[in-house]
Chains A and B, each alone.
Chain A
Amino acid sequence: AVVSTQSTGVSVRSVSSRYRGEVGDIVVGRITEVQQKKWKVDCGSRLDCQLQLSSVYLPGNVLRRKNLNDELMMREYFSEGDLICAEVAEVGNLDGMLKIHMRTHEKYGKLPEGLLIKVPSVLIKRSKLHFHRLPCNATVILGSNGFVWVGPHFIPEQPIEAISMTLRETIARLGNVIRALAAYGVQLFDTIILTGYDISLKYKVKELLKPEVMEHIAQESYEHSQHQTL
């Protein structure tokens, strides 16, 4: 459980609860359906999110009123199964259904080759930045819904170059570190992931799957981050 003290009392959020969105959250989701003028996106919440056609940028960084042609070409932009990164615009009053949109062109959009890891949404600390370009040549997107994406640096809509072996190792290593931290209930944010990455360098990437190694990394990263805050 994640415990935080507030002025009025103590707030406890259980690890196994579903994601409850708030306006301004950055989420990583998977397109499940293509409907008329909107896409349905799975964000790990009780209901699928809605992504309206009117709130996406068209290829070429164009934001304009969408016409009939665009409606017919919806599947060309995002089709079922695609991973996207977007921001929560609205939370439905009655049912809590989220409406997501892509506000700028630089970060939101379809995600290219990479790794998706699902962690409990409660472990993603809300911060100003969720989209991290790490110095080790990889990008980590910490979706507030618990969907964490690890992959190469990219700009949406632009093709990425082939992933080299070193980059592939980095991505796999980051993925295993994130899984290790999540398995031990450690809150995730960019510095702790980098700390975990540095600690993990003495092991081979596949050794990070062993429970004792995962525990060691989670423990040391947590202690390191506690020291830093002090």
Chain B
Amino acid sequence: TFQHYFKRINLRRNDLRRSGLTMVTQLSNAEVQFIIDGVEQDFRSDGRAAEDYRQIELETRVLPNTNGSARCKLGKSEVLVGVKAEVVDVDVHAPHIGKLMITADLSAVASPKFVGKGSEALENDITNVLSFLYNSTETVPLKDLCIVKGESCWLLNIDVLFVQCGGNLFDVASIALKAALYSTTLPTVRVSGEGIEMEMEVSDDPYHVWKLDVSSCPICVTLHQIGSSFAVDLSEEEVACSEGYLHVGVMPDGEVSSMEKAGAGNIDPTTLLEMVEVGVRVGEEIHRQLNKQLDAERSLAKL
């Protein structure tokens, strides 16, 4: 059965090489077997269990010209997220809510593969996954971003920049995104007058600001199928042995905000349900730790 598996994995090599999801695209069959056996026995090559994440380093308010920012490091992957707010006209179909626009950018610093158009495919993937994650109105309270119903609202431009790629890009981006939104401060707007004479005054006072409510912001937990089992937070060697993968958007209360299956390879329906279960459990724990650290950082800064 391993021979069939090796054949399938080998066919995926070109796919992996082009996409840039992992820098490691060549492994011997022996190494692949070692990794698969490890995951199936719940003991991976570095001693982690299938549900264990690597150490996450997080810092907010790192970019001074933004409304909110965060830098997050997971394993070797490092990502910078900046949130910039601007006042725009409301969408005709949704006149009472604000807008979010998420863009992912893979820096050429991360890999020579990302020079020029090489990063387009993976950038689109990441942008789509993150946008889908925040698609529902229950995630970020977009109503709070409305300034004048039917007229103006805040548009949050969220830029996700990958400085280093070392596996598990989607998860680290979503964690940094939530942290950046947590640190986002928006100036208060004073609206006076009505109709044509309406005047909007955006406050210049740096202390006259309000913070976004991120208590429902989801994070993405990516689970890869390896052999007959699955795992979270894969290293690059492990990604080269995996087939299909699943992105689960988990909210802090354990609700699933979005789910997306990707990658070449199928996932068995029963395994799918197990994956979602594990994804929710892992996601809730990450939210707990993340909130604890963000609150601690905020109290240190006394903001």
Q: How far is the CA of A208 from the CA of B46 in the complex (A)?
A: 9
For residues 26 through 52 of chain B, which have their beta carbon under 8 Å from a beta carbon of chain A? 26-31, 33-34, 37-38, 41, 43-49, 52
Instruction: Check B27–A81 contact: CB distance below 8 A.
Output: yes
Q: How far is the CA of A173 from the CA of B44 in the complex (A)?
A: 11
Cβ of A118 to closest chain B Cβ, rounded Å: 10
Interface centre among A113, A151, A172, A210 (most CB of B within 10 A): A113
Q: How far is the CA of A172 from the CA of B35 in the complex (A)?
A: 11
Q: Which residues of A contact B45 (CB under 8 A)?
A: 115, 171-172, 175
Instruction: Check A172–B28 contact: CB distance below 8 A.
Output: no
Cβ of B303 to closest chain A Cβ, rounded Å: 27
Q: How far is the CA of A82 from the CA of B30 in the complex (A)?
A: 8
Contact of B52 among A82, A168, A175, A206 (CB under 8 A): A206
Main secondary structure, interface of A, reads mixed
Q: How far is the CA of A171 from the CA of B29 in the complex (A)?
A: 18
Instruction: Check A163–B47 contact: CB distance below 8 A.
Output: no
**Chain A interface residue number, banded:** 20 to 34
- Count of interface residues, chain B, beta-carbon cutoff 8 Å: 21
Q: Is A209 positioned at the interface, with any CB of B under 8 Å from its CB?
A: yes
Contact of B46 among A80, A82, A206, A211 (CB under 8 A): A206
Cβ of A143 to closest chain B Cβ, rounded Å: 15
Instruction: Check A206–B48 contact: CB distance below 8 A.
Output: yes
Q: Is A176 positioned at the interface, with any CB of B under 8 Å from its CB?
A: yes
Instruction: Check B31–A114 contact: CB distance below 8 A.
Output: yes
Question: With A32-B26, A210-B55 in contact, do A169 and B31 touch (Cβ < 8 Å)?
Answer: no
Q: Which residues of B contact A211 (CB under 8 A)?
A: 55
Instruction: Check B43–A169 contact: CB distance below 8 A.
Output: yes
Q: How far is the CA of A205 from the CA of B27 in the complex (A)?
A: 24
Q: Which residues of B contact A169 (CB under 8 A)?
A: 43, 47
Q: Is A165 positioned at the interface, with any CB of B under 8 Å from its CB?
A: yes
Could you list some 29 contacts between A and B, CB below 8 A?
A32-B26, A81-B26, A82-B28, A82-B29, A82-B30, A83-B31, A110-B28, A111-B28, A111-B30, A112-B30, A113-B34, A113-B37, A114-B31, A115-B45, A151-B34, A163-B37, A168-B41, A169-B47, A171-B45, A172-B43, A172-B44, A173-B47, A175-B45, A175-B46, A176-B46, A206-B47, A208-B47, A210-B55, A211-B55
Which residues of B pack against A, CB within 8 Å? 26-31, 33-34, 37-38, 41, 43-49, 52, 54-55
A82-B28, A175-B45 known, 14 other contacts, Cβ within 8 Å? A81-B26, A81-B29, A82-B29, A83-B31, A111-B30, A165-B41, A168-B37, A168-B41, A172-B44, A173-B47, A205-B47, A206-B47, A206-B48, A208-B47
